[in-house]
Amino acid sequence: MRIHLLCDQKWRDLPNLAALKLLLEQLGHRVLLSTTKDQHQMIRAFRPDCVVFNHLFAPANQQLARDLRASGVAVVVLPTEGAVRPELMGIADGEFAKDWSMDLFLAWSAPAADGVRRRWGLDEGAVPVVGCTRFDFYTDRFRCAITPREVFCQHHRLDPARPIVTWATAFGFAGLQHDSVRYARFLAECEANGLATCYRRIGVDPRRVPELFEQGRTRTCAAFVRLAKARPDVQFIIRPHPVDDRGFYRAVIENNGLTNVRFCPKDYIWNVLNASHVHLHRHCTTAVEAWMWDKPTIEMAVDNVREWQWPDREVGSAIVHDASELVDRVDSFLSGRSVEPEIRDYRRGYIETWFGPQDGRRCVAAANAIDGLMSKIGRRRRFITGIASTPTATRSIATAVLRHVLGKRPNEPLLRWTSVTKLDPMDKLATRGEVMVYQRLIADAVAGEARR
């Protein structure tokens, strides 16, 4: 069978999709891994029997899924985020979708699976619990994928003998209110995908969300700057969220003369956490990833938005409310304080509940589930010339395929050089070459693992 894996954000999605690709190929399938940016053209060219999406929240994805299934193509959802904030659970299980036209939903956890099953009247066969495939990379099986700490430090001009504190930002909506076009688009998308309704349910006006994010970012940055200045012998890494404004953080570093701070937008989070002694965050999944290695984490609760509290998640980290508390907590952990046994136990239970088993075999479970679906339904693809929601221009399809084969980004000109920074400012678009590099990196971790 032909299976098409769609990659949205390479720094988040590429590794586990590369593992899934190798495992499905072991099971005899022909697999294409390509970016969502040119998904319509590549689907037309590859003519898959199955397409694996990372979500069906957007109306465009819902329409494409309907067209695919109407053409005999199976639709699978492997969620990018399967352990969302409490107020967003409705979005996660499809409350605001007109329909979720899919054959298989690979849930991270039992609570997530139960929500989707109840919402759409599906059973365990259609919505199995496979766990979070990305978390495989924190197990011994995938140690080969982790950049050694000394190598990472050398690459980022850090001293491996000195302590490193990392901060993962998550303020993607901050400041949108200052750009009328982007702000209008944000509000429209919030209404369309249900985010606005979710905010209203907890007493937050969606029109104020960018302002609240900006205030939180300002306060959190102020605390971080004070920490970095107070501890010049400590090294710091800022790891931005994929949609954060990178220029803002670069300016913070430069304007405050923070020579002990490195900005690291282009590396996998496990490489960053592997080098870290203490991890700072605000309600970020990176903290849960740090828990996998029993790292101390600090919840930077300086935003003062009561409606956004998340007690279940916050319990696993040391909580601080201002810069003074932040400095004290970091000092304590760097002086040798470890995570308390009861907190470690809580973390493990939380991970098991919301992210599934942590045995390094969640990619295997996902591959087996997809293989099982394809074995059950057989080849039923009918379309030859295309489907309703895809572009039909042969030139567009041929150009997309040529870019892919040549290892270019889907928006990269074929005949002239253009700066990657201009083409892909967030560096999110995976190329065929990057897929191949990562496949070689993890080949030993998945060798012989997939079996019928």
Residue 120 has pLDDT above 90, yes or no: yes
Q: How far apart are CA 352 and CA 328, in angstroms?
A: 31
Sign of CA dihedral 214, 220, 224, 226: positive
Tens digits of per-residue pLDDT, 128-161?
Answer: 999 999 999 999 999 999 999 999 999 999 999 9
Predicted confidence at residue 257, as pLDDT, reads: 98
| The pLDDT of residue 229 is above 80 | yes
Does residue 172 surpass a pLDDT of 70?
yes
pLDDT digits (tens, 9 = 90+) for 316-345: 999 999 999 999 999 999 999 999 999 999
What single DSSP character describes residue 4? E
d(CA 94, CA 96): 6
φ/ψ bin of 360: left (φ > 0), alpha (ψ from -120 to 50), beta (otherwise)? left
Domains of the chain: 2-136+359-446 (3.40.50), 148-174+211-355 (3.40.50.2000)
Residue 386 has pLDDT above 60, yes or no: no
Q: What is the pLDDT of residue 415?
A: 78
Beta strands in 96-252 (DSSP E): 104-105, 164-168, 235-239
Helix (H) or strand (E) holding 40: helix 39-46
Instruction: Give SS3 for 132.
Output: coil
The residue to which tokens 């070689």 are assigned: 440
Give the separation between CA 450 and CA 22, rounded to whole angstroms.
9
Q: With cut-offs at 50, 70 and 90, classify the pLDDT of residue 390.
A: low
Judged against a pLDDT cut of 60, whether residue 391 lies above it is answered with no
* Residue 156: per-residue pLDDT: 97
Count the Cβ atoms, other than its own, within 10 Å of residue 307.
Answer: 11
> Which residues lie closer than 8 Å to 251 by C-beta, 6 or more apart?
none
Question: In the predicted model, is pLDDT for residue 384 greater than 60?
Answer: no
User: What span, in angstroms and rounded, lies between the C-alpha atoms of 256 and 324?
Assistant: 18
pTM (predicted TM-score): 0.94
Q: What is the DSSP letter of 151?
A: H
